Amino acid sequence: MGSLYYGNVDEPIVMPDRVLAHLAAVATTKLRRSESFVVSWKGTESDGQGRTTLWLQPAIPLRFVYDQAEAMPLNPATLREMADQATSNGGLVLDADIDIPELSAARPQKTRTEVAA
């Protein structure tokens, strides 16, 4: 599980590394362009929270910490969907249980076409 640190809060927001990596890609792209946006998620029974919403903006410190040392490949379709949500009025809604396909499963294998001579 990865950790998202936002602002001066000491306690991280914990989520799966794969979800965090995709969020990081979307957030850094938008924040680099000085585009603020909303990100929300539902709490769990164990944390006792119903729903959390953050306003992400470039002036607030943001740090992503992963359990995995190696960078993982990102799924382009998931990135597009998350970026579209982040641009919408409702903002980006995260689901820790989302099934993000591995890159190899997301892209069909290209095959060579034989050309007859």
Q: Could you read off the pLDDT of 43-87 as tens digits, one per residue?
A: 766 666 678 899 999 999 999 999 999 988 999 999 999 999 999
Say what the pTM is. Answer: 0.79
pLDDT of residue 62: 95
pLDDT of residue 116: 57
What is the extent of the structural domain holding 88? 2-102
Residue 113 falls within a domain, yes or no?
no
Q: What percent of the chain has pLDDT over 90?
A: 62
Residue 19 falls within a domain, yes or no?
yes
Distance, in Å, from the CA atom of 106 to the CA atom of 99, rounded to the nearest integer, reads 12
pLDDT of residue 106: 46
* Model confidence at 22: pLDDT above 80: yes
User: Do the beta carbons of residue 72 and residue 17 sit within 8 Å?
Assistant: yes
Number of domains in the chain: 1
Residue 110 falls within a domain, yes or no?
no
Distance, in Å, from the CA atom of 102 to the CA atom of 84, rounded to the nearest integer, reads 20
